[in-house]
A and B are shown apart, each in its own frame.
Chain A
Amino acid sequence: MWARILSLIVKELLALMRDPRGRMVLIAPPLIQLFVFTFAATLEVRNVDIAVVNLDQGRWGRELVARIEAAPTFDEVIMLSSVGEITEVIDRRRALAAIHIPQDFSRNIEAGRTADAQIVLDGRRANAAQILFGYVNRIVAGVGATARPAPALAEGVVRHWFNPNLVYRWFMVPALVAIITMLTAIVVTTLSVARERELGTFDQLLVSPLNQSEIMLGKVAPGFLIGAAQGTLFIALAVFAFGVPLLGSLPLLYLAMVFFLAAVLGVGLFISSISATQQQAIIGAFAFIAPAIMLSGFGAPVENMPEWLQAFTMINPLRHFLVIVHGVFLKDMPALEILRNIAPLVVIAGVTLPAAAWMFRARTQ
């Protein structure tokens, strides 16, 4: 029996790898993506343009402008001569923000009053605008402290654990390891049954000495093997090429990966079994992939979602696996905690695999 399954697995792998284009797409694009996306994803705001209207003749207006010009965040500081020009600069996206320093700015500071400045930010880029406002606020506070030094009663000393300099890459690379592994595994599996059905070769498999469970195993194995191989390559790259610290237990990471892949492959085989054509299968895979990525905590934290949606994310294997990947890489998460996050993966796999098997049987009878 094992020899039969093995030969089926070899056949499935050959079907994927025989075509040089097929070999290529399993290796090159994921690697390119890993590098491009890792460097693309940054939360700092840099190289943005800012506009300034300085109507103040005094010293403090000049001081503020000088400090903004000296800040490394900005690419170009566009000097405007009137408040009316702000609309055009913001509307046309020539600057992310415009600062307005009013006429009485220095006079108010020197008279011991609070001087008011305004900043207009482009709400179309709300996230960057918010971060930029934080930077400008710090510059303004610096000018304020020079103008009127005031003792601070209390301060907070901030320490970022697990990633002291908040290197975004340390977050991004482990997340991409999980996501790209999932993408490959699911596409390989989803297409496996659908392709044979579309080409009409599935019937040949059914009349072979293989029984249904054996065929199913043969259909799931390539996605598992290729996914695990890609995952291994990416883990090695994360550590050796990107310098992401791997503090926790590698065996536990692999244990989690086995159940993660099992859960994902169950979904893949299920979709594959209900699809009559490859097109349906791929669209089905997308209907799983896109929400799985979006609702995993990768793009936006799960805590920010409404509660009913947070509950829904519990069935998303990627959500649990991301916690484990980040936990093992960066946080040296204790074994018990990792196991607690593996448990939902076991449950999900325990549902998707039998469901896929049932659907596979039902559709091949």
Chain B
Amino acid sequence: MTGPRQLGWLGRIAALARKEAKQIRRDPSSAVIVLFLPLFLLFLFGYGISLDAASVRLGLVLEERGPEARGLAEAYLNAPDFDARLYSSRREAERALQANELRGFIVIPPDFSERLNARASWPAQIHVVTDGSQPNTAEIVANYSQGVLSVWSVQLARDRGFAAAPAISIEPRFWFNEDLRTRYNLVPGSIALVMTIIGTLLTALVVAREWERGTLEAVFATPVSAIELLASKLFPYFLLALATMAACVLAAIFLFGVPFRGSFLAILALTAAFLTPALGQGLLISSAAKNQFVASQLALFSGFLPAMLLSGFMFEIDSMPAPIRAITTLIPARYFVTGLQTVFLAGDVWEVLAPAILKMLALGAVLSFLAWRVTPKRIA
């Protein structure tokens, strides 16, 4: 049998990686981390994050009950986007809005029918009040209410014989996601988030633990060099993370029904490229922090939260102010999100994937270099 001694540096790395793998196997919490936690998170995100406003709670106040007012109220009560209910007074609806029971309410004022029936007083007005403390939903409420009103009033105009055909109609086609299910975008984005947790946080903790316990001193007494040490630490976690990724992709396809139009090769290339900076960042954090509390805080604030908020997963990067757009170019998850959304929904568009992969590898090289510089070979 060939021992590590004969094989030189490669053998040393292999031996250390085996030691690391044994350590992972012995501590059952890693099995939980690698399989249970990502799937649990993906499951919650897949069902929990939906931006398709299914039923916005809307109040409806009729201050008159003429046939037109009732007709419009009917249109709101039947609109699929709204879960509308009647309130007997404006006062009551206002209180419900303040108490978070409604996202908005509509008032049909006393003169509505009257103005609608006298051409001189067109347009008749209704009031749309939204809960601005939730700006996203407020915008949706405003748009949907206007939509219902305009469909209704066009129909009324046609019934009364003074409608001309509209000059232009524009028909939208959403490619890659025809029915606009936000889940299709959010599940690939969630995978990037989960992989950041696995890649960065786990690595940061593992190496920080060695520093904290002082076990690295024992390793330094051996012929192992710093770079060999880091490589051997990373390798088992790299494999673990690939296994996690496989589980996530299968869940996305079979559990959430996200279309998968690309190839597994592309996913593998993206994942391997993403793990380079993710693991490198974890290593850098742990070598700089040297204790698990600091490492976990840094991983949280430099890994998890940016992956959630600055990766384009929740907020459009193009729309951010320029300095923050500049920061996002340093977030590996940004390229991973773009790449995953493309592979899942559009297919292997290498013009998108190749730059993403290269940028992740470049970030990985920088982070690994920094980690290597920060990791001292000897105890000072």
Contact = CB atoms under 8 A, between A and B. Distances in A.
Nearest to A275: B29
A238 B74 CA distance: 42
Given A124-B342, A330-B133, A300 B294 contact: no
A129 B180 CA distance: 9
A181 to B, nearest CB: 13
A113 B125 contact: no
Given A43-B139, A92-B352, A157-B127, A22 B316 contact: no
Given A113-B165, A334-B98, A121 B134 contact: no
B177 A126 contact: yes
B54 A330 contact: no
Interface residues of A, number: 123
B296 A123 contact: no
B127 A159 contact: yes
Interface in B152-173: 152-153, 156-157, 162-173
Contact of A90 (B138, B175, B327): B175
Nearest to A184: B297
B67 interface: no
A141 to B, nearest CB: 8
Interface stretch (A212-220, A229-237, A291-299, A351-359): A291-299
B146 interface: yes
Nearest to B293: A191
Contacts of B33: 283
* Max chain B Cβ within 10 angstroms of own Cβ: one of A48, A96, A150: A150
Contact of A156 (B134, B149, B305): B149
B184 interface: yes
Contacts of A7: none
A327 B94 CA distance: 14
B122 A152 contact: yes
Nearest to A297: B134
A337 B99 contact: yes
A116 B296 CA distance: 56
A303 B136 CA distance: 13
A305 B181 CA distance: 13
Contact of A323 (B27, B100, B310): B100
A167 B302 CA distance: 26
Interface stretch (A23-31, A202-210, A252-260): A23-31
A85 interface: no
8 contacts: A25-B294, A92-B349, A119-B173, A121-B172, A280-B27, A283-B202, A287-B40, A304-B50
B90 interface: no
B128 A158 contact: yes
Interface in B298-343: 298, 300-302, 304-305, 308-310, 312, 314-316, 318-321, 324, 327-328, 338, 341-342
A301 B164 contact: no
B150 to A, nearest CB: 8
A289 B44 CA distance: 12
Contacts of A64: 168
A97 B362 CA distance: 30
Contacts of A109: 167-168
A85 B374 CA distance: 49
B360 interface: no
A43 B289 CA distance: 36
Contact of A166 (B132, B156, B157): B132
Nearest to B124: A154
* Max chain B Cβ within 10 angstroms of own Cβ: one of A122, A168, A306: A122
A143 interface: yes
Is the interface on chain B under 10, 10 to 19, 20 to 34, or 35 or more residues? 35 or more
Nearest to B130: A160
Contact of B175 (A42, A99, A123, A334): A123
A71 interface: no
Contacts of B219: none
Interface stretch (A32-40, A261-269, A342-350): A32-40
A155 B153 CA distance: 9
A134 B352 CA distance: 26
B3 interface: no
Given A43-B139, A124-B345, A171-B133, A37 B309 contact: yes
B131 A46 contact: no
Contacts of B48: 291, 294-295, 300, 305, 309
Contact of B305 (A33, A170, A279, A323): A33
Contacts of A166: 132, 135, 138-139
Contact of A124 (B170, B193, B346): B346
A103 B85 CA distance: 47
A293 to B, nearest CB: 8
Contacts of A144: 166-168
Given A44-B319, A300-B50, A126 B142 contact: no
B220 interface: no
B227 to A, nearest CB: 24
B174 interface: yes
A19 to B, nearest CB: 7
A41 to B, nearest CB: 5
Given A286-B304, A287-B37, 8 more contacts: A43-B315, A60-B168, A121-B173, A156-B149, A286-B197, A287-B40, A303-B103, A337-B98
